[in-house]
Amino acid sequence: LVPLVPLVLALALSPWGSAGGSCPPRCVCASNILSCSQAALSVVPSPLPRFTAVLDLSHNNVSRLRADWAPGRLAHLHALLLSHNGLSFVSTEAFTHVPHLRHLDLSSNRLRALDENLFSDLAELEVLLLYNNEISTVDRTAFENLGRLRKLYLGQNRIARFPLELLRDGSRLPQLALLDLSANRLQAVPVGELQALPAWLRDRLYLHGNPLTCTCPLFQLLARGQRRRLSAVTDFQEELRCLIPGTSTPVGVLTLAGKQPLNCSEAREAVLEAHLGDTVTLGCDTRLRGVRSRHWVTPGGERVLEESGNGSAALLANGSLQLRELRPEDAGTYACWVAGPLLNETLYVDLLVHNFTLHGPHDTLNTAYTTLVGCILSVVLVLIYLYLTPCRCCCCRGAEKPPAPRDDSINSSVLSTTPNHAAGVPGEPCRSRSASSSGPPGQNGRFKAGGTPQPPPRHGPKAQRKVSDPDSVSSVFSDTPIVV
């Protein structure tokens, strides 16, 4: 009974014990969590307290979720768990009163279709679990208004076609980072549209466990994902299987390289950089001989055939693709599909379009900025030269330094000299005036008893040099300048 004491205290202090609401029968309530899992419920308990944040109704018998299951607005509810209920019907107005829902689990039920605008009221939804149902049709508006959806699990259903065009331009599900379509009934996928998807979404696009038809474009798509170490390919290599036309035994998609009857070849890749407004040519330098057909696929999944051009894109006679007046939306991966008599080949070109022109305002701004910086540095160097360069003129500027105090003899240096000229004598060069010329004879104008006498002055250029005092104990620590 001791472990139950904290739970009893928590329930006593929780909002369920107040006048704001009561815990429904056969449910467990703690704080703002309401758990009614495995309670043999056939309908959602009512009333639900308005402060409920997590509602767990999993493993029950709630087969229909009507619009009135929550008669009042549940503004705090952010997680709703309805898995393992045999749920076969969900009203299009079932989520009107839970606008702040972020996690919705409808997995392991009997849903057969995702109707029009089914989840359009859940603008803040981030995770939607629909795996292990009987879903066979998906309306393209079912995920309308899900601007924050990050993870969508649709594995283990009966989907034969998923509207991947919802992901093409990134405007319908802009935050989607994981799409699980594994273990469905997909026989073909639009390779061009999948190739145009962002790399971070292709890394979490799971297609394993589907009865796909073997084609070289499918092989090229998955082989490229394997080279780039996309987890959706590397983690499920054994489950990525397909059926060769005319056979009933599935084979690994990544084992089709060079095998009959498809003879798929490894894809080659290239990267090309350009600027806005440029005209570029994407080469399709194939190694095949006797090419029967050739076409390009743009990042948006549109084909550019040999006979015609497509807007600003045109196919040249040698098989290259020319793009004129580049725009930001022209960036992406272009694929050149080449069909030969014995072998097929695919070449990918990643086009990077820099968001400025090569000779536009960007370069002008750089030039002006460089010129301004150069002028400022020049002015600073001139000022340094004028005001911080040591004085080399004939006469010293500024006032004389005051003589050192007489009682500071320990700091006097034997390397300092007494001037041998009178201050202000015309014709004499300027010398250091740190020593006083008015004191008694001796070191720096001080009297030195027992010091070495000064030698008589000599004529010539070296007559100004003086003899140092070897008796000074602080000669090596002196900071008095040496005058020569």
Q: Quick: pLDDT tens for 55-111.
A: 999 999 999 999 989 878 899 999 999 999 999 999 999 999 999 999 999 999 999
In the structure, what pLDDT confidence band is assigned to residue 19 with cuts at 50, 70 and 90? very low
Report the pLDDT averaged over residues 420-427: 45
Q: What is the pLDDT of residue 47?
A: 83
* pLDDT surpasses 70 at 444: no
Please give the residue that has the higher pLDDT: either 88 or 11: 88
In the structure, what pLDDT confidence band is assigned to residue 391 with cuts at 50, 70 and 90? low
Residues 6+ apart with CB under 8 A from 366: none
Please give the residue that has the higher pLDDT: either 182 or 351: 182
Q: What is the pLDDT of residue 121?
A: 92
* pLDDT surpasses 60 at 453: no
What is the largest distance, in Å, between two alpha-carbon atoms of the chain? 125
Report the pLDDT averaged over residues 118-122: 93
When mean pLDDT is compared over 262-266, 322-326, 454-458, the highest value belongs to 322-326
Q: Quick: pLDDT tens for 121-161.
A: 999 999 999 999 999 999 988 998 999 999 999 999 999 99
Q: Quote the mean pLDDT of the chain.
A: 75
Contact 226, 234 (CB under 8 A): yes
Report the pLDDT averaged over residues 424-445: 44
d(CA 383, CA 400): 26
Residues 6+ apart with CB under 8 A from 278: 326, 358
In the structure, what pLDDT confidence band is assigned to residue 397 with cuts at 50, 70 and 90? low
Please give the residue that has the higher pLDDT: either 366 or 376: 376
When mean pLDDT is compared over 46-50, 307-311, 354-358, the highest value belongs to 46-50
Structural domains of the chain ordered from first start = 272-354 (2.60.40.10)
Q: What is the pLDDT of residue 3?
A: 45
Planar angle of CA 160, 161, 167, nearest 5 degrees: 150
Q: What is the pLDDT of residue 253?
A: 92
In the structure, what pLDDT confidence band is assigned to residue 18 with cuts at 50, 70 and 90? very low
pLDDT over 70 for what percent of the chain? 67
Tokens for 173, please give them: 């599900």
* pLDDT surpasses 60 at 310: no
SS (H, E, C) the chain: CCCHHHHHHHHHHCHHHCCCCCCCCCCEEECCEEECCCCCCCCCCCCCCCCCCEEECCCCCCCEECCCCCCCCCCCCCEEECCCCCCCEECCCCCCCCCCCCEEECCCCCCCEECCCCCCCCCCCCEEECCCCCCCEECCCCCCCCCCCCEEECCCCCCCCCCHHHHCCCCCCCCCCEEECCCCCCCCCCHHHHHCCCHHHHCCEECCCCCEECCHHHHHHHHHHHHCCCHHHHCCCCCCEEECCCCCCCEEHHHCECCCCCCECCCEEEEEEEECCCCEEECCCCCCCCCCEEEEECCCCCEECCCCEECCEEECCCCCEEECCCCHHHCEEEEEEEECCCCEEEEEEEEEEECCCCCCHHHHHHHHHHHHHHHHHHHHHHHHHHHHCCCCCCCCCCCCCCCCCCCCHHHCCCCCCCCCCCCCCCCCCCCCCCCCCCCCCCHHHCCCCCCCCCCCCCCCHHHHCCCCCCCCCCHHHCCCCCCC
pTM greater than 0.75? no
Contact 75, 48 (CB under 8 A): no
Please give the residue that has the higher pLDDT: either 191 or 52: 52
Q: What is the pLDDT of residue 203?
A: 86
Q: Quick: pLDDT tens for 217-243.
A: 899 889 888 888 889 999 999 999 999
Residues β-bridged to residue 6: none
Q: What is the pLDDT of residue 443?
A: 44
Contact 213, 242 (CB under 8 A): yes
Closest CA to 361 of 295, 301, 275, 438: 275
Q: Can you tell me which residue has the tokens 């056939």? A: 42
Please give the residue that has the higher pLDDT: either 18 or 334: 334
Q: Quick: pLDDT tens for 240-269.
A: 999 998 888 899 999 888 777 887 876 666
Q: What is the pLDDT of residue 150?
A: 94
- Residue 317 burial class via C-beta count within 10 angstroms: exposed 0-12, middle 13-18, buried 19 and up: exposed
Q: What is the pLDDT of residue 343?
A: 56
Q: What is the pLDDT of residue 80?
A: 97
Q: What is the pLDDT of residue 390?
A: 63
CB atoms within 10 A of CB 257: 14
